[in-house]
Structure 1
């Protein structure tokens, strides 16, 4: 299948990043969100990234303008009627995603692939609300999308081989490395990463060491670029909690129980960098 037009649903941090890399690869991109201000915020983020590339000599000013010209605004999901693949990057909530996929199943052309950028929710369960489960697949991009090379390509129970191959080829054209993963809670990335972060939070909760010491051990002792508590703040503590709950519920093992301190911080609205305070305080 030849993909020419990509629709990205959600113009937030992940969606705008996905739109950028698709436009850079030469695809025509329809960037969809509910309000024009959300779209404009997403375009501003893309423009900022591209401007930085121009300043550092990685792109020319002309290339920047060509990339931006390949992105068009959409404020209606009905625009999915003229695309080849849709990559959904909406909020990490099963009911929201199922609602979107039910609409896409009705609107999108018969040949269109329906992909989700979910970081942990079951692809099979999302696909089950459509009449084309064989065309539903996970494309889990890493954050920040323009920088990170990995894409987890997750097969649902019914995902067709042809759909997987099409998405794997597209991933290469985006300049990314695709890794095939089967549909289990948290996939690979978050099944390994989030329990490590959760254990770091437990170490803080139990008074084993200060937050600075915990992060320093993992940075200087394990060569991680960022300590687990700083990383949790960057991801968002609400997102961390959500993924841990999905792992705990989906796998039924007590080792995935979210730390009470994580729950307390989320309840307090201390969500990390985006709220100005998490394990650390941000200006």
Structure 2
């Protein structure tokens, strides 16, 4: 059984650690911030309780899952014995490049280095290591314990053997892996982010209000969540970062982020994580209240 290390204990990181541990893998969840680690542990416990309540997991399964999880605030200690590292740190290219330089030095030579990046080039990340054939994208969807897709992204030098191993591993997690090549935004965000950006442009130009735009997409296009609510859920800062990767990487003006999105991020209106985006989330996600600034 592979030893797995997951770097970053935020929403994606704790979800990835949860799923690996639930499916039998020993996992070390790594974050330099002890408070963040403790919060992640609480979140994983609550998510497991939810699975138990729905009948998808027994109490024994929950206990076994938690028993396979360890926490560490030391990168070196956390990855020392890892056969696979999944990086789920912030979506910042410089942070990821620095982290992969360190991982190349700290991990065993045969260790596979995967990144959960939603848009940053796998080839660029791999180039700062001495093992580009063992660097790959493993892009989970949020919420990780629920969503079935894993985008498996091959860098320019990623080997066939490593790609097949990660495809098989994803299936062991009861996910559906989809192999894609390394171009800006991959598949998911190359299609999703222009749609979200166009929804923001539609709002910015006064074509319709927030509720109206989301209602059209939910009821007219059968989307489970409207694009503006989804942007709040993803994080407007993350949406902006991905659009900038697309714009810079492809050089096409159609990917230019809407000025309204830029202004909202600059003002700290990031969506659910900050309590306000296109909607007000101060009462929690169960009580969605339209932000007054966008009322018609």
- The alignment's TM-score, normalised by the length of structure 2, stands at 0.94
Which residue does the alignment assign to 1:225? Answer: 224
Which residue does the alignment assign to 2:185? Answer: 186
Mapped partners of 2:15, 2:3: distance in 1:
16
Mapped partners of 1:166, 1:151: distance in 2:
13
CA shift at 1:126, angstroms?
0.4
Mapped partners of 2:148, 2:183: distance in 1:
22
CA shift at 1:52, angstroms?
1.1
Mapped partners of 2:200, 2:217: distance in 1:
13
Which residue does the alignment assign to 1:148? Answer: 147
Consecutive aligned runs of 4 or more in structure 1 exceeding 2 Å deviation: none
Which residue does the alignment assign to 2:212? Answer: 213
Among 65, 73, 76, which residue is 2:74 paired with? 76
Q: How does 1:57-68 map to 2 (within 5 A)?
A: 57-68=55-66
Which residue does the alignment assign to 1:264? Answer: 263
CA shift at 1:35, angstroms?
2.1
SS for the counterpart of 1:166 is: helix
Which residue does the alignment assign to 1:55? Answer: 53
Mapped partners of 2:56, 2:134: distance in 1:
36
Which residue does the alignment assign to 1:136? Answer: 135
Which residue does the alignment assign to 1:41? Answer: 39
Which residue does the alignment assign to 1:20? Answer: 18
CA shift at 1:233, angstroms?
0.6
Mapped partners of 2:245, 2:125: distance in 1:
14
Mapped partners of 2:141, 2:57: distance in 1:
22
Which residue does the alignment assign to 1:116? Answer: 115
Mapped partners of 2:73, 2:270: distance in 1:
29
SS for the counterpart of 1:82 is: coil
SS for the counterpart of 2:179 is: strand
SS for the counterpart of 2:280 is: coil
Which residue does the alignment assign to 1:173? Answer: 172
How many residues end up aligned between the 2 structures? 281
Per-residue CA deviation, residues 80-105 of structure 1 (Å, 9 max, x unaligned), is: 12110000000001111111111110
Q: 2:99 matched to 1:100? A: yes
CA shift at 1:117, angstroms?
0.2
Mapped partners of 2:101, 2:265: distance in 1:
31
Mapped partners of 2:268, 2:213: distance in 1:
23
Mapped partners of 2:84, 2:144: distance in 1:
18
> Which is worse superposed, 258-267 or 54-63?
54-63
The runs of 5 or more residues in structure 2 that have no matched partner are 283-296
Mapped partners of 2:244, 2:73: distance in 1:
32
Mapped partners of 2:53, 2:201: distance in 1:
43
Mapped partners of 2:267, 2:9: distance in 1:
27
Mapped partners of 1:253, 1:279: distance in 2:
26
Q: CA RMSD in A?
A: 0.7
